[in-house]
Chain A
Amino acid sequence: GEDVEQSLFLSVREGDSSVINCTYTDSSSTYLYWYKQEPGAGLQLLTYIFSNMDMKQDQRLTVLLNKKDKHLSLRIADTQTGDSAIYFCAETLEGFSGGYNKLIFGAGTRLAVHP
């Protein structure tokens, strides 16, 4: 099946860490992604992780991948008001012609950062 599940809403205080969770179904996914959508803007690739990795760190962002449980998380350290956005988890899925040519997205997690 093609299902990526995310919680819909997360509220954190400025300066705290945020953890956004995602579960996916396709164990053959090669890459898993986190996209960010700010109000009125398109989707911006935040970070991605290759399926043979457990963790990836990029400045304030830490991605953890548990392949056994098909669980992906995004941790944002020292969350700022500018981090308020919708965060989408996505996995790659094989397209009709072979090769991984689709992204399967979750419904997005709306992160609200308050003072």
Chain B
Amino acid sequence: EAGVTQFPSHSVIEKGQTVTLRCDPISGHDNLYWYRRVMGKEIKFLLHFVKESKQDESGMPNNRFLAERTGGTYSTLKVQPAELEDSGVYFCASSRQGIGTMNTEAFFGQGTRLTVV
């Protein structure tokens, strides 16, 4: 079974540019999450999809961030326009059932390291 894959692994862009991150969850996992770790700080929740629907997007920093999950398969996270403070590692995770459900594990991808210069 393939794990959660994220693309690209690294991205360096200039302030004001647009970047799109992609996450391919484990096949059959309805739940998909985006998290971000900025500057060695805590890993912060961004949003949660159940299939193609946004279940909770309370962690999205502002309207420069747009997440989509067309068809309930892979997801993209677009940052437009990027600012310096958007630099960090963006993690995607997927799970068959919601986190906190008994015997449910969230599987994380390796992350995309975004650097805005």
Contacts and interface: CB of A to CB of B under 8 A. Distances in A.
A99 interface: yes
A35 B4 CA distance: 16
A3 B56 CA distance: 19
Interface residues of B, number: 29
B106 interface: yes
Interface string B1-25: 0011000000000000000000000
Interface in A58-81: none
Contact of B42 (A41, A95, A105): A105
Contact of A42 (B40, B41, B110): B110
Interface of A: 4, 30-31, 35, 40-45, 88, 90, 92, 95-97, 99-108
Closest 5 CB pairs of A and B: A100-B100, A105-B43, A43-B108, A92-B100, A42-B110
